[in-house]
Amino acid sequence: MTATDELVAATSALSLDADGTSTKRLDVHMHICPPALHAAMTACGMGMPPVGTLKAAKDAMRSLGTQRGILSCSVPGPAAVAGVEEGRLLARQCNEEILGVVEEGKTEEVDLGYWAGTPNWVDVKGAIREIEWALDKPQRDRGVVGIVVVATYAGKLLGDPFFTPIWETLDRLEAVVFIHPTFAAEPSTPIAGTLPPFIAEFPLQTTRTAYDLVLTGTLSRFKNVRVLLPHAGGAVPVLADKILASLGAAGEGVGSALEDQTFGREEILDALRRFYYDTALSTGTVAMHGLAHFAQHDRVVYGSDCTFCTPTGVPQAMAQQLEDWLDSEDGRKSGLTRQAVMYENAQRLLL
């Protein structure tokens, strides 16, 4: 059997439920690197391979049996550029280029959507301006489903009061916000000398900003915003008990970073359960078991991280692992279903 035959066989297996019926797939977590971003990163000395073409994205969707894929800029996205005017220009260029790809790539079989990027949030006015443009009807009609942001800007986590005007805008526009980790300004030493530090740093960066949004009251104040965390929320589920314990005896009367607010244990847990969680690169039994016990079941959605996880066959193998677990006795007992995780939950979120 050739490699292509094996891929086709795997795709056929992915397209059927345990009972033989087919399941649609909606992938909320796909990346593409537009020419404008690649040029900017190269100019900054952050050279990355030109991964994430429309062809690569569509090939991945075809091999995974994905009907609808939501693209976003490869990190760091427009935040790669620090200058105000340059950052605003890059954000608009990236958004226009990927929206062009989305419009070009839609067919009867393949639907595409887009998480629009913003300039670095240090430029509050620029970020607000781009969010208002991206979430306006013409851009929504072209495929924008929400806004993608990185988990930290200039050392500030996303609950920092400096960013409050941006959250006010997102709330007013009832945005869906996809938070994605980005490369650390000063990455730590490669693991075993070869493994990139971001493998471990990305999930922890997501975790820090997620708890920051909860404990500053940002998530509670801006209830019209729905927030999606990648990679099963990083360490959000497994650190909940530790963080609650560290905040005070029995978690009662916990003081927040905002002096006029206090949160109890149940309020914190409720806020953590308001997040949506995708399954990108987190399809193992431990990660899924944790999500099933921690997250609201209608807020767990499928993501692949294509075309970022580039080794051949990895997205297919992880999708298979996820579906095998959902079909297993453990998965069935968890209450999560294949149809809900692979399609229906995200379809409701992104309508």
Interacting residues toward Zn ion by CB under 5 A: 305, 308
CB 160 to Zn ion: min, Å: 23
The candidate with the shortest Cα–Cα distance to 315, out of 50, 31, 20, 113, is 31
For Zn ion, give the closer residue by CB, 151 or 268: 151
CB 24 to Zn ion: min, Å: 22
CB 330 to Zn ion: min, Å: 26
Secondary structure (H, E, C), 269-336: HHHHCCCEEECCCCCCHHHHHHHHHHCCHHHEECCCCECCCCCCCHHHHHHHHHHHHHHCHHHHHHCC
Distance CA 181, CA 190 (A): 17
The 10 Å Cβ neighbour count of residue 19 is 7
Structure tokens at 80: 């790669």
CB 59 to Zn ion: min, Å: 17
For Zn ion, give the closer residue by CB, 179 or 225: 179
For Zn ion, give the closer residue by CB, 181 or 217: 181
For Zn ion, give the closer residue by CB, 70 or 215: 70
CB-nearest residue to Zn ion = 305
For Zn ion, give the closer residue by CB, 18 or 46: 46
Distance CA 110, CA 151 (A): 30
Distance CA 189, CA 226 (A): 35
The 10 Å Cβ neighbour count of residue 184 is 14
CB 227 to Zn ion: min, Å: 16
The candidate with the shortest Cα–Cα distance to 214, out of 300, 291, 273, 297, is 273
For Zn ion, give the closer residue by CB, 36 or 228: 228
- Residue 213 makes CB contacts below 8 A (sequence gap 6+) with 157, 158, 159, 219, 227, 271
Task: Give the containing element (helix H, strand E) for 31.
Answer: strand 26-32
For Zn ion, give the closer residue by CB, 49 or 138: 49
Q: What are the Cα distances from residue 217, in Å, to 80, 180, 256, 274?
A: 28, 20, 7, 13
CB 53 to Zn ion: min, Å: 16
For Zn ion, give the closer residue by CB, 115 or 343: 115
CB 102 to Zn ion: min, Å: 17
CB 229 to Zn ion: min, Å: 11
The one-character DSSP state at 249 is: G
For Zn ion, give the closer residue by CB, 121 or 178: 178
The 10 Å Cβ neighbour count of residue 224 is 10
Question: Distance from CA of residue 348 to its chain's centroid?
Answer: 16
CB 257 to Zn ion: min, Å: 28
Distance CA 106, CA 221 (A): 37
The strand ranges marked E within 137-189 are: 144-150, 152-153, 156-157, 176-180
